[in-house]
Amino acid sequence: MTTLLAFGAHPDDIEIGCGGTVRRLIEQGWRAVHGCVTSGEAGSSTIDRATLAATREQEARRAAEVLGSERVEFLRAPDGLTQYSREQKIDVIDLIRAVRPQILFVHASSDAFPDHRVVHELVMAAVAGAAGPWYQEAKGEPHVPATILGYEVWHPLSTHQLAVDISATVERKLEALRCHQSQIEPTHYDEAFLGLARYRGVMSFTGTYAEVFEVLCTPLSLPAGLA
Ligand SMILES: [Zn+2]
């Protein structure tokens, strides 16, 4: 079975950045797994961290269910990541080797938000680590994803190499986004990302709504599901 693995720094990043594309692939028979690096416990000034982490993990599980993804793996790194540890890198290597994705999604390299930037670096370092026999403490057999796509969250990409028509799945993406009640209530960003998807659709001539990606690693041709 063809498999995708999507990493996000916070519980809502995957739905924001690639939820429509993930759903599109699932509808074509792909298996999807989410890797959530932190549980987003710093995302409120009024709710204590343990309560918020539990709430946000539940929201992420519900959102993944709405998309039709198989499961969410929580790495539980501290929210507000300024650097990553060797242990966190091993956790990501283990997950890549266990899930063995053909497509891997991660924050784009130009994302300026600190946690997103660190998670981009962490995942790209782990991709290199997962490819060979270099980490003896890591589990599983070496694996290389065929395609790695960088998505946008709060900082729209200034250039992209791939636009995916999500017109048929944008409603599902919004439904998944709205599972993140603790975040949507104070900031109605579902409306902002609907606007961004509309902008991407029009400006890329792809469809009514689109998501765009930085192609970080690709074989000679894109998987049939995205062509
Ligand atoms: Zn985030």
pLDDT tens digits, 161-180: 999 999 999 999 999 999 99
What value does the mean pLDDT take over residues 110-120? 96
State the average pLDDT for the chain.
94
188 C-alpha vs ligand 1 centroid, how far in Å? 15
64-68, 125-129, 215-219: least confidently modelled range: 215-219
Most confident of 10-24, 77-91, 130-144: 10-24
Predicted pLDDT of residue 225:
66
What value does the mean pLDDT take over residues 25-35? 98
9 C-alpha vs ligand 1 centroid, how far in Å? 5
19 C-alpha vs ligand 1 centroid, how far in Å? 14
pLDDT tops 60 at residue 59: yes
128 C-alpha vs ligand 1 centroid, how far in Å? 23
* pTM for this predicted structure: 0.94
State whether residue 220 is helix, strand or coil: coil
CA distance 75 to 35: 7
181 C-alpha vs ligand 1 centroid, how far in Å? 15
Predicted pLDDT of residue 45:
79
Q: How confident is the model at residue 44 (pLDDT cuts 50, 70, 90)?
A: confident
C-beta of residue 109 within 8 angstroms of C-beta of residue 120: yes
CA distance 196 to 210: 8
Q: How confident is the model at residue 46 (pLDDT cuts 50, 70, 90)?
A: confident
Helix and strand numbers, DSSP H then E, in the chain? 7, 7
Predicted pLDDT of residue 224:
62
Closest C-alpha to 39, from 189, 175, 180: 180
Predicted confidence (pLDDT) per residue in 61-75, tens digit = 999 999 999 999 999
CA distance 12 to 196: 16
117 C-alpha vs ligand 1 centroid, how far in Å? 10
Predicted pLDDT of residue 171:
98
Could you tell me what percent of the chain has a pLDDT over 90? 86
Predicted pLDDT of residue 223:
59
Amino acid at 66: V
140 C-alpha vs ligand 1 centroid, how far in Å? 29
Q: Distances in Å between the alpha carbon of 197 and those of 31, 49, 201?
A: 24, 32, 6
CA distance 198 to 105: 21
Contacts of 109 (CB under 8 A, 6+ apart): 120, 150, 214, 216
CA distance 40 to 56: 7
Q: How confident is the model at residue 218 (pLDDT cuts 50, 70, 90)?
A: low
116 C-alpha vs ligand 1 centroid, how far in Å? 6
Domain topology for 3-221? Rossmann fold (3.40.50)
CA distance 154 to 175: 19
User: How many C-beta atoms lie closer than 10 Å to residue 145's C-beta?
Assistant: 22
Closest C-alpha to 154, from 193, 204, 105: 193
Two tokens, residue 215: 């192609």
56-60, 65-69, 222-226: least confidently modelled range: 222-226
Residue 152, φ and ψ in degrees, nearest 5: -105, 145
80 C-alpha vs ligand 1 centroid, how far in Å? 10
Predicted pLDDT of residue 227:
56
Contacts of 102 (CB under 8 A, 6+ apart): 2, 3, 4, 145, 146, 147, 223
Predicted pLDDT of residue 221:
55
Predicted pLDDT of residue 116:
97
